Structure formats: C-alpha cells, structure tokens
Amino acid sequence: MVAAQGGQITHELSVISAVAAELTLAQVADLRADDRIRRIYDNGTVETAAARAATPT
C-alpha cells in the first residue's frame, strides 16, 4: 500500500506486519483514509529506559 502511494519503504518489521517509510503529507493523508490501514505513527524520538536512567538531571 505504501509503494502504491509512491512512498519509499525504509524498514520492514515482519514480526508485527509493519513497515517504516518515507512519505509526503499527502501520501500519509491518503493512507490514513484507507480502511485497510490499522495505524500510522509519526516519526519521533525513541529512548530506552537504560538511556534515560543514565542521563544526569
């Protein structure tokens, strides 16, 4: 579905039947409107609990 919208798949996450992809805002809007898509997450910073504990406050 991502490729059909013209998006570029960057990672395949087969364990959870998901992909990471480069998409324009218009492509994201089209995919959000597709009933076959369960969820779309925006990019964000990911931090592990260990990294957070090691960061001085």
- Local mean pLDDT, 10-residue blocks, the chain (57 residues): 91 91 94 93 82 67
What is the model's pLDDT at position 51?
Answer: 67
User: Which pair of structure tokens corresponds to residue 19?
Assistant: 């992909």
3-class DSSP assignment, residue 20: strand
Regarding pTM above 0.75, the answer is no
CA distance 52 to 16: 26
What is the model's pLDDT at position 57?
Answer: 64
What is the model's pLDDT at position 10?
Answer: 93
What is the model's pLDDT at position 48?
Answer: 82
CA distance 40 to 29: 10
